[in-house]
Structure 1
């Protein structure tokens, strides 16, 4: 540890909005490209699997498009005015062109589009780029054109555009394109071939435009307005009088509209969570796709009308075909962004599930999600409330029931949740639910539901650490100035005879002070509960008060409490908006105090370290033993962001241990949210050069970007048949197997064959050749040369691929044995390749059905 000055950098392990911009399909409609922060992600349309990621380190990307002259080139634009091009098979930019703005420092790009060249144009006039931009602190965007090759300024158009992603659209055939934009109640349009002054149309009646789309071939424009209408406009770019038609079904403002590739149909979506498919010639002929997970944000049509991508506000994308049948879903990190009467986006915080080694957080409304930060995948969602999502109304805010607290016990087989709904008009709804994991159904099943466990809501929820599954306790604290201890007991109901359910065993309170946070000691023998400015310690089994500690003359209510772990079990840390205190339960005294405005306090369950986030986004890592922090990071996130919650996630199994001392046993993760309601899961690590390691990606090689999991596994199996056997130190420690494990686990679960069919190829992939070891030995001059044991292979009698019998030619193979590996052996021995292969064959011939039990 280098002290508080050690340089650590932020790494994103999840989150980031993929719905800020409309997605783009590839030419063959097999790949979908999404914008996420400073990266462009490529997903397989049919499986939803992440195929590739194109990154630009500087600047947020505001849009992506296939090059109109070369569909194998991916073009993106950043908000600082950089035009970036990638080859679809490469992760590194092929070219970067800086757009030449007059005042680049105060200009922010919000959108772009490449205009196809005229068929009569020369090769030098490849494309021009239309750029939507705005000045700092300006709510109105403008439109200009630039040269895509040199970035030079061409023309400034008299367009005034609203400041959102649906403010402009492009349509028409190549060489005959036109542009349409909206600003409040004004529709603007211009011919891209001539770039003359734009024409305007208006709507009245207190209505204004919300989105716009252009016909892919004809001079036809579709607009949505705030009253739920879709207007189709004709003859806007001709000398005749414009005509328009009204298509009305939505009650909420239309958020997205798009045409089919032929233009005979169009699709619309709004806050009702319903996709509507319209036939232009028959306004009453419409089809519906109801019960989408969340309100619709974007619609994107694929080539040949094969697929439609529907972006929803829970940060997910649903892909359907032309018959509105679901094909796949791209969903890796979810949240619900809506009016919640002051409740944060992730009110339940972060919990750790020891069973799945994942994180448990709020998902879409009424759900919780199990997320793996290591593989950056969404494991599954659990519907807690069991209620339909209530969409908003035009003139009223509808409040949905949402999950506010989540806690899991030590082995991950019991889960407790608290759901709440308070609209300020009707009686407040509060439910405490206990869930038990069913190994047969592979899901959590509701065991007990308690209505209104605390008057006014629940402030804290926690399970007692206990190795005995039959001796489980849970504690809740509420706004009724009390805490309740819940335990398992046999049900008295005739319908659940002999079933263990949860009951309230005792109630605790202290001097009529409001109950705050709670924390258990590492062994579960003590329970700490904050009551106003006082810290109280109880025996959970008997609900007996052991002691109460209060800072002299302090009237600030304690908002956080954590027991020390490992060797600090006798210390209790409390936090408040004024300071952070550490109490010694052996001497019943205050050890030290530091003036810090505590926003979040979390403890590492496997070490003595704790993390404190302040209201100014400062991070302190400390041990309760000493008031001096072991690590300090000022402004860990920008000022326009806020830390929502944080937790230490333990390293499991053979996972790579962090080089940072205070993260040696657990990794600190935290969620932040900016003003655009975009949430990211972040962590702190030392700088590294490898891109895959830096971003935590498990991606295939560049030569197999679009290959399936099976083709990747088959190719490696064939190459290993002709390579020599290699046994080195890394194999003895199990590191080479990590690559095979990553590839095995990177495939979506619903696309994988039975486990019994994967065991054989997986075990064979662990047998690697000696060829790479020889090359490594000859090229490394500093490393100590390992001993070489030469063995003669036996006649196996198996024909090779070229038809030659393996026994006709006696091949000499080398088996590399590192010196320090030999030291752990009982006695020197010569390992025969035939022995290794025969043992592998015996293992591969065994019944592997037992492996399926491990994944249950």
Structure 2
């Protein structure tokens, strides 16, 4: 089972009835219900990242779409049947794809059937002697209807892959390249020939995003400084006949074209500036009255095109990526950099529902790389806890492949444009998942003002969410915390520090009387220990909790956690030990050393000596709860990456034997983690029983679940069929399609209740409320209303 892919690698696309949202999700296309924001199905077939999803417009019954991928293929799908109808293999990675003819007005497509052409941004073919060219990408045309061979005609070559932008009318195609915008006019009768008419718009700063007006010759673009430029009357010279020039002049005078640089083909250019960082989102409303913009601030700005006045949808909490309108005028989608897609109700500028993927890795990871911990697994429930940018912890279900909820660790307003001052460096869960420990670090400013805070959290049995129970400032004076470990059976935990000590914490029982005020803290320090003032870098409890192992630089110290007595000192390693873990209920202890001589050592507790070891650079390690098996992620040298087809390898061992039981090559192993999960038949999508599953999450937080003891590598679908039926919406017709279902009429109901009924029970009073730019035209409403009241019948003519 695979999951955790990015939902915002390319813009999503709505179905024609606006009930489905098609989202590029890794090498597949995830289909979500807009009513529930839950995944209902997926399109499987591509072998690399999907880069474009284009739904074929038409009636609400049609469910066809085109997709492109880095695997070099274009596929035509019937996404109602989850069936691939057509596949075109271009043998070159496709970075972006647009299909102008699908956006053309119906009258231009009536009559004779024409070929459908796509414009692609592809990787360039290698030159002679198989040497790559200086330009790595090129824009080319492809006949999707009668594909025989990719057209050799190239619109343009670029040094880097670019995103293609098509106008809502399908008449113009544009790209941004540094400080220039290149715009082509798509011919009405498209053919295999190249597009001849084009123009270029210039700017003093690098462009970041481009948008076309739906009906007028207006082009908007955002730059890296936060400015929005709007050109009006674009293409009056290049895209019109010589006799149709404005006022019969060539308009070369700078006074006639205010704001236009280098005599570009535009009447005027105006500049708006609100964003403090680069603009990453620009989109016109469907009627062209408004312009939407967004950037790193996490604020959606709604500009009135004629006046320049703006309104805001703030506190989104993440940089914005894409804004997509739906066939339903009141529904839109907003993709954010934190791997979330929000479904917006634009009439009230509010977020109705959210599709939440796993949050990406922290941008501050490099700042606190030596202090940050990896994702924490709840092996019982099959979820993972990861740190988020907004000082929180996200709990993500690995079986369901969706976000569960978030816990705010630091009560502080998060602004994406601010400098990083606070980092949640550590999260650790207990074995049963009922307790959590977190560490947040306030970074010092110019070496002054740093602060470390340790928090213990308890899981509420009713809400199934964590709430903070104890807050401890500077638990190890001014030293950073290196590890947190929970007792397997009791409410006890240990924290170790680089300052040379460790502390054992116990949870006090709730013994106060009813008349007394409740205690603010429930955890207290039980004992403090150290060993020769050496840095304590790792800690772990044994399976029964009777032994506490703490790594003191290059040696392992064994303690009695109840009496805080030193029992023994084990071995000596050439490099500092950074990780300790007991292997299930066996007598073996694992130690991982980092440094000039990285090493994995298996220690026998009965002999207090090393049993066997490997000279490997270990990224992560996990063990089973009952058996004596453990798994590791080992980083491979760059010289061996081509041999293993990855930068890491997963090895599964029996602690008694140095020969691996199984191995798998993996990619993006740096920053990854691994864990054994309890398999549950009810949680597995295919319903097949599995006692233990192995979860691997890579540095980009993409994960895979598999059976480590199954010799056959079997892939199963993430979505169960019995879940899909419950998510399907029931169709409504006639009166119910406009006003909703009528309530059940009860003769015994009190007549007075109908008099004092609230306005919310009268949908006809608010059905046409909202801004005028979002309401459909009166002609469209009238036809829809009359058609909904008619019942279609099939008549048989004899």
Written as runs of structure 1 = structure 2, the 5 A alignment for 1:778-797 is none
1:605 aligns with 2:625: yes
- Per the alignment, residue 145 of structure 2 pairs with 149
Identify the match of residue 428 of structure 1 among 428, 433, 450. 450
Structure 1 position 356, deviation (Å): 4.5
Determine if contact 2:46/2:69 at 8 Å carries over to the other structure: no
Take 1:234 and 1:317, find their aligned partners in 2: how far apart are those partners? 32
1:116 aligned counterpart, secondary structure = helix
Determine if contact 1:370/1:381 at 8 Å carries over to the other structure: yes
1:149 aligned counterpart, secondary structure = coil
Take 2:684 and 2:36, find their aligned partners in 1: how far apart are those partners? 29
Structure 1 position 98, deviation (Å): 2.3
1:245 aligns with 2:270: yes
1:637 aligns with 2:666: yes
> Does the C-alpha gap of structure 1 residues 657 and 287 become closer, same or farther in structure 2, counting only changes over 3 Å?
closer
Written as runs of structure 1 = structure 2, the 5 A alignment for 1:552-567 is 554-566=573-585
Take 1:257 and 1:419, find their aligned partners in 2: how far apart are those partners? 36
1:618 aligned counterpart, secondary structure = strand
Identify the match of residue 82 of structure 2 among 91, 96, 100. 91
Take 1:604 and 1:62, find their aligned partners in 2: how far apart are those partners? 39
1:387 aligns with 2:407: no
- Per the alignment, residue 733 of structure 1 pairs with none
Written as runs of structure 1 = structure 2, the 5 A alignment for 1:746-761 is none
5+ residue gaps, structure 2: 125-131, 189-194, 238-245, 247-264, 637-647, 733-798
Take 2:159 and 2:495, find their aligned partners in 1: how far apart are those partners? 48
- Per the alignment, residue 260 of structure 2 pairs with none
TM-score scaled by length of structure 1: 0.72
Written as runs of structure 1 = structure 2, the 5 A alignment for 1:477-488 is 477-488=496-507
1:223 aligned counterpart, secondary structure = strand
1:475 aligns with 2:518: no
Written as runs of structure 1 = structure 2, the 5 A alignment for 1:767-806 is none
Determine if contact 1:159/1:188 at 8 Å carries over to the other structure: no
> Does the C-alpha gap of structure 1 residues 298 and 666 become closer, same or farther in structure 2, counting only changes over 3 Å?
same
1:109 aligns with 2:98: no
> Does the C-alpha gap of structure 1 residues 403 and 523 become closer, same or farther in structure 2, counting only changes over 3 Å?
same
Take 1:357 and 1:200, find their aligned partners in 2: how far apart are those partners? 53
Take 1:480 and 1:406, find their aligned partners in 2: how far apart are those partners? 20
2:627 aligned counterpart, secondary structure = coil
Structure 1 stretch displaced more, 373-382 or 475-484: 373-382
Determine if contact 1:611/1:622 at 8 Å carries over to the other structure: yes
Take 1:306 and 1:657, find their aligned partners in 2: how far apart are those partners? 34
| 1:239-292 CA-partner distances (Å, limit 9, x unpaired) | 255122222110100011111111111100100011101110110x21101111
Structure 1 position 631, deviation (Å): 1.3
Identify the match of residue 579 of structure 1 among 578, 581, 599. 599
- Per the alignment, residue 307 of structure 1 pairs with 331
> Does the C-alpha gap of structure 1 residues 199 and 92 become closer, same or farther in structure 2, counting only changes over 3 Å?
same
> Does the C-alpha gap of structure 1 residues 532 and 348 become closer, same or farther in structure 2, counting only changes over 3 Å?
closer
Take 1:346 and 1:402, find their aligned partners in 2: how far apart are those partners? 10
Determine if contact 1:606/1:650 at 8 Å carries over to the other structure: no
2:99 aligned counterpart, secondary structure = strand
1:695 aligned counterpart, secondary structure = coil
| 1:501-523 CA-partner distances (Å, limit 9, x unpaired) | 21222221112222111111000
Take 1:130 and 1:580, find their aligned partners in 2: how far apart are those partners? 52
Structure 1 position 653, deviation (Å): 7.1
> Does the C-alpha gap of structure 1 residues 336 and 538 become closer, same or farther in structure 2, counting only changes over 3 Å?
same
Take 1:536 and 1:644, find their aligned partners in 2: how far apart are those partners? 28
| 1:355-388 CA-partner distances (Å, limit 9, x unpaired) | 7453323244311122222222322111111222
Determine if contact 2:380/2:677 at 8 Å carries over to the other structure: no
Determine if contact 1:226/1:253 at 8 Å carries over to the other structure: yes
Take 1:138 and 1:500, find their aligned partners in 2: how far apart are those partners? 63
- Per the alignment, residue 830 of structure 1 pairs with none
Determine if contact 2:231/2:269 at 8 Å carries over to the other structure: yes
- Per the alignment, residue 790 of structure 1 pairs with none
2:631 aligned counterpart, secondary structure = strand
5+ residue gaps, structure 1: 1-10, 712-856
| 1:629-688 CA-partner distances (Å, limit 9, x unpaired) | 21122xx223x553521111123476669999xx96421112113xxxx43012334587
Paired residue total: 664
Take 2:421 and 2:720, find their aligned partners in 1: how far apart are those partners? 37
1:504 aligns with 2:525: yes
| 1:600-638 CA-partner distances (Å, limit 9, x unpaired) | 1211113211011111211111122111121122xx223
1:369 aligns with 2:391: no
1:588 aligns with 2:604: no
Determine if contact 2:578/2:592 at 8 Å carries over to the other structure: yes
| 1:474-517 CA-partner distances (Å, limit 9, x unpaired) | 10111212111112237999985556621222221112222111
Structure 1 position 173, deviation (Å): 2.5
> Does the C-alpha gap of structure 1 residues 275 and 654 become closer, same or farther in structure 2, counting only changes over 3 Å?
closer
Written as runs of structure 1 = structure 2, the 5 A alignment for 1:802-813 is none
1:335 aligned counterpart, secondary structure = coil
- Per the alignment, residue 816 of structure 1 pairs with none
Structure 1 stretch displaced more, 572-581 or 84-93: 572-581
Identify the match of residue 624 of structure 1 among 649, 652, 655. 655
